Amino acid sequence: MMNIEIPATNRTPSVIFDFAVGHLRITGESYPEDVTTFYNPLFEALKAWLEATEKPGCQFDFELIYFNSSSAKAIMIMMEMLDTAAAKGMNVVVNWFHDPDDETMEELGEEFGEDLNHAKFHLEKRPN
Q: Which of 6, 31, 22 is nearest to 94 (CA)?
A: 22
Q: Does 79 bind another protein (CB under 8 A)?
A: no
Cα(17)–Cα(2) distance, integer angstroms: 9
What's the sign of the alpha-carbon dihedral 88, 110, 29, 127? negative
Q: Does 74 bind another protein (CB under 8 A)?
A: yes
Cβ closer to another protein: 34 or 114?
34
Q: Does 36 bind another protein (CB under 8 A)?
A: yes
Least distance in angstroms from the C-beta of 66 to another protein: 10
List, in sequence order, every beta strand (DSSP E) within 41-111: 58-67, 92-98
Cβ closer to another protein: 5 or 80?
80
Positions in the binding site for another protein (CB under 8 A) = 31, 34-37, 39-40, 68-70, 73-74, 77
